[in-house]
Amino acid sequence: MKNKINKTKEYFYLLVSVCALLISISCIGSKSTSEITDKEKQAFASNAADTVEISNPESNYEIIIIEPGFNVWLQAVARPEGYYSQTFLENRNRLYVIEWNNRVINTLQYDPQLYELQINYDPLVDYGYEVNYKLFNYFIYFQRKYNQQLGPFAPRI
């Protein structure tokens, strides 16, 4: 009788383990990048000269992005300012900048036409919301347009 109860417990634990494994596999399988929308495709296809300046006079920080379609994408597709907290943007930008700079250095492994210049981003400096917002959105735009992944998570809108 006692042996039968132990066998039942073993089967129960095995069943629970298998169910947990199947659930975790199904969750992993469902993680994918969101589809490129028609608005994004239009922005990506834009050939018009497009310059976006990211600056904060208080921190003397400035980035000039010359990327056709980015401003259109920023206005039409990106989440509006205020959607993300500054802390969220700073944390993502730190990760993206580290990977970006690694790719700039590794010209044999990564296309030097995509990764031309390093980004000097000091995590101890408060660049303000606007700088972090635009830099974050450029990273999302870049990843989606050029099918790159700069961090451990898929670039989503």
Q: How far apart are CA 90 and CA 125, in angstroms?
A: 10
Q: Which of 156, 115, 135, 116 is nearest to 54 (CA)?
A: 135
Residue 55 pLDDT greater than 50, yes or no: yes
Global pTM reads 0.73
Confidence bin at 56 (pLDDT 50/70/90): confident
Q: What is the pLDDT of residues 105-120, one digit of tens each?
A: 999 999 999 999 999 9
Q: How confident is the model at residue 4 (pLDDT cuts 50, 70, 90)?
A: low
90: left (phi over 0), alpha (psi -120 to 50) or beta: alpha
